[in-house]
């Protein structure tokens, strides 16, 4: 199926090995390329393989379909939304959250992918423009936003294996009830379906990653930012490369008991809380270069040329 810029360079692409909810036609990659290329996107068949063999094959971590002989001549590009290193013996290029000096690798933080999907579907220009959504407007009435925060803190997770996250939830719950709406430690009696609207009335959101690794920054920190709920973040020790650390509670590489003390202080001191809420999410209130409209397109354009596509 053809999408993107009509008179742009024609590129044949396809996707295998992605999670079951992945949209093979409109996703963070096609959205990021649609303003520059004419994309011939191969449909995924009922067997999980592509109906037409593309020139460029993007693959991820779910199974090994990319190793099938039918894709032997494809230029293979690895990408994933997990804390996993690129399988360089199986790909020519990779896009992950890692910091790497390898010129064939692009640091593509997971949260960038999420920002592209927040406003809806299928309008590539709208999706790309939405990267500015985390830039705070100078005329925002922060006092009004503060008064809309009628609930304390939430915890929406379903991974039992993230012990650091669960321990923090238990520690903070000794101060006040933390509303848990996921599969782990659920205390609401129901599972949250639409997460971002659920976060809106909360002063704080526990935004701990599944694991800690430099550059591994998922959607967990930006989801509360979208609705001005202060993230309590634990994960990448290099998070200040992505966001202004004064705008959230950074729990990484700290005693969790000390983090609880900071949250309690912010909860009890309205002026202190509003002052933090006013802080821009991005440094200097400008989106970082990872969110730039041409960031991924520039890298993939070079990859396509090097791969002689």
Residue at 16 is within a domain? yes
The total domain count for the chain is 2
> In terms of domains, do 277 and 302 share one?
no
Residue at 263 is within a domain? yes
- What pTM did the predictor assign? 0.91
Residue at 116 is within a domain? no
- pLDDT at residue number 273: 98
| pLDDT tens digit sequence for 84-106 | 999 999 999 999 999 999 999 99
> In terms of domains, do 104 and 148 share one?
no
> In terms of domains, do 263 and 302 share one?
no
Mean pLDDT of the region 112-134: 55
For residue 5, what pLDDT band results from cuts at 50, 70 and 90? confident
- pLDDT at residue number 216: 97
> In terms of domains, do 146 and 272 share one?
yes
Residue at 114 is within a domain? no
For residue 126, what pLDDT band results from cuts at 50, 70 and 90? very low
Determine the structural domain holding residue 157 and report its residue range: 136-285
Mean pLDDT of the region 17-35: 91
Mean pLDDT, the chain, as a whole number? 92
| pLDDT tens digit sequence for 135-161 | 999 999 999 999 999 999 999 999 998
Q: Which residue has the tokens 């520059």?
A: 36
> In terms of domains, do 298 and 277 share one?
no
> In terms of domains, do 95 and 157 share one?
no
CATH number at residue 275: 3.40.50.11660
CATH number at residue 19: 3.40.50.11650
Q: 230: part of which helix (H) or strand (E)?
A: strand 230-234
């Amino acid at each position: 199926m053809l999408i993107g810029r009509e008179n742009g360079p024609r590129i044949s692409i396809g996707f295998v090995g992605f999670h079951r909810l992945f949209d093979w036609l409109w996703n963070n990659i096609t959205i990021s390329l649609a303003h520059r290329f004419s994309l011939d996107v191969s449909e995924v068949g009922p067997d999980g393989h592509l109906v037409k063999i593309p020139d460029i094959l993007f693959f991820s971590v779910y199974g090994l379909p990319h190793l099938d002989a039918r894709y032997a001549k494809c230029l293979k590009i690895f990408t994933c939304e997990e804390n996993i290193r690129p399988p360089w013996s199986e790909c020519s290029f990779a896009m992950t959250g890692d910091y790497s000096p390898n010129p064939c690798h692009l640091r593509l933080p997971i949260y960038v992918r999420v920002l592209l999907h927040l406003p809806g579907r299928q309008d590539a220009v709208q999706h790309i423009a939405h990267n500015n959504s985390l830039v705070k407007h100078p005329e925002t009435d922060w006092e009004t936003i503060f008064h809309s925060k009628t609930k304390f803190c939430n915890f929406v997770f379903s991974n039992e294996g993230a012990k650091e996250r669960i321990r923090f939830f238990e520690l903070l719950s000794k101060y006040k009830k933390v509303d848990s709406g996921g599969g782990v430690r659920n205390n609401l009696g129901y599972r949250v379906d639409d997460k971002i609207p659920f976060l809106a009335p909360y002063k704080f959101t526990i935004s701990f990653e599944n694991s800690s690794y430099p550059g591994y920054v998922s959607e967990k920190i930006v989801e509360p930012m979208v609705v001005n709920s202060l993230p309590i973040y634990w994960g990448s020790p290099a998070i200040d490369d992505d966001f202004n650390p004064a705008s959230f509670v950074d729990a990484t590489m700290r005693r969790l008991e000390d983090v609880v003390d900071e949250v309690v202080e912010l909860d009890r001191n309205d002026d202190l809380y509003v002052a933090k809420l006013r802080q821009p999410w991005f440094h200097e209130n400008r989106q970082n270069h990872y969110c730039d409209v041409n960031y991924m397109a520039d890298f993939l354009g070079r990859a396509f040329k090097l791969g002689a596509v």
